Amino acid sequence: MIAFIKKDLLVFWRDRKEVLISLLAPIFIIIVVNFVFSGITFDDAGDMDIHAGLVVEDDEAAGLQQFEKRLQNIDLPERKIEVMMEQAQDLSPIGLIVSLFDDPELSSWIHTEEMNEEEAIEQVENGDLDAVIKIPNDFTFDVVGQMVLGETADTSLHLQIEEHSIETDILTDIIDNYLKTFNYQFALGAVAEGEAGDAVLPEGGREVINESAVEWDLAQYYAVAMSTLFALFIAATVAVKTETEKRERVFNRILLTNSRPVSYLMGKTFSTFAMTWIQLMLVFFVSDLLLGIFPEKSVNYWLGIIVIVTFFSFVVAGLSASFTSLMLRMKNLNAANGLFTIVIMVMAALGGNFFPMEQLPEWLEALSGWTPTGITISLFTEFLQTDDIVSFAAPLMKLAGFFIGFLLFGVLLFPERRRA
């Protein structure tokens, strides 16, 4: 098999134009993208400007009175009712929502204004507001009943959006996470003290999970996206060169030497792995040397990049095995080349090689996490920010699964000796 690997590496190296394209094209695109997107980050909220209408239909005082009657109807001791009412008054569900958006850090880019529902809906339809946050009737009664008595709440906060955007998704996530955090903290307090105590209310704003984390900008994103895209085309290039060997009866002559047919396929596979690994590492190294794409990191950081590149290179190698077997079975070179291009482009589009998937619907973003390039881009994104490769065992195992799947498909589809 070593001889086959050497053969395929020499065949690829003799095509100087192909080598230059695979190395220089991604570097050129990365230089252009770095010039265009330099300094633009995913986490920069400075340009974010969200306007929302706050519609308060609930009467908090009336809700608390209704809750007090509820406590009296379940025949509780007077002292217990007093304690529960104090807890309910401290909760102040409407005050929680209002105080969230009064936080100085959030109020600088999320602007809320109290108004009636008709006016708010009209402004949303006219494009003056991004969303309407509605606190419906009985909201206070249901929330304090859920928090203090553990009853199921029938009323929930309403968020009306005319059309989805990054801003409205951020607003939804902020409200969602705020309420979940409050529920979680209140539940912890109840467990710790044996009864519902004073909850430590969550504060609005952005939480820094890792102070050493760095921002991931678009230049870095496209550096990884374009590199992995061109790496996929190596699999197609290796497979297409099989047509020449098939036409010149090279494959048949190999079989006459009594070599195992699968050794031929493994030679293609592992030579593709070597070419992909070298290409990716050279592109990353040259891009970082010329443009400083990646911030200065430790040796462990670059070892982590090597691990990710190695796993992805195995995926491309497995894909080349599938493409090679298809090429040996197909009679039309143009049809095969077209099929390979379609597979690669679909994989790249779903994986986020052309644009960040965060701007697309959630189901497409979730689907991206099950494509080779989507997993790889996500790994680079998170690794650059956390510098911890140990926590990425699951995504790396996904890449290993793709390699095994592609390789098995190629082996099963590979022509038998008598058919070759």
Helix/strand/coil (H/E/C) assignment for every residue in 224-243:
HHHHHHHHHHHHHHHHHHHH
What pLDDT is recorded for position 112? 84
- pLDDT tens readout for residues 117-174: 888 888 888 878 888 888 888 888 888 887 777 777 666 778 877 766 666 777 777 7
CA angle 133, 136, 142 (to 5 degrees): 120
pTM recorded for the entire structure: 0.57
Specify the residue for token string 């790396």: 396
| SS3 annotation, 178-229 | HHHHHHHHHHHHHHHHCCCCCCCCCCCCCCCCCCCCCCCEHHHHHHHHHHHH
**Per-residue pLDDT in tens (0 to 9) along the chain, 420 residues:** 676 677 667 766 676 676 677 777 778 877 777 776 554 444 444 456 788 888 888 888 888 888 888 888 887 788 888 888 887 787 777 887 777 777 776 777 788 888 888 888 888 888 788 888 888 888 888 888 877 777 776 667 788 777 666 667 777 777 776 766 666 555 554 544 444 444 444 444 444 334 444 455 666 777 788 888 888 988 888 888 877 777 766 666 666 665 676 777 888 888 889 889 988 888 888 887 877 776 656 677 778 888 999 999 999 999 999 998 898 888 787 888 889 889 998 888 888 887 777 666 777 778 888 899 989 988 887 777 666 565 678 888 999 999 999 999 999 988 765 444
Four-residue CA torsion sign, 74, 78, 83, 85: positive
Q: Is-contact 341 185, C-beta < 8 A?
A: no
Tally of CB atoms within 10 A around 1: 15
Sheet order of strands, 131-135 included: 110-114, 50-56, 131-135, 158-161
- pLDDT tens readout for residues 170-195: 777 777 767 666 665 555 545 444 44
What does each C-alpha distance from 83 to 87, 91, 328 come to in angstroms? 6, 13, 79
Distance CA 356, CA 377 (A): 10
Strands annotated E in 252-325: none
> What values do phi and psi take at 206, rounded to 5?
-105, 135
Q: Is-contact 25 31, C-beta < 8 A?
A: no
What pLDDT is recorded for position 265? 83
Distance CA 217, CA 227 (A): 16
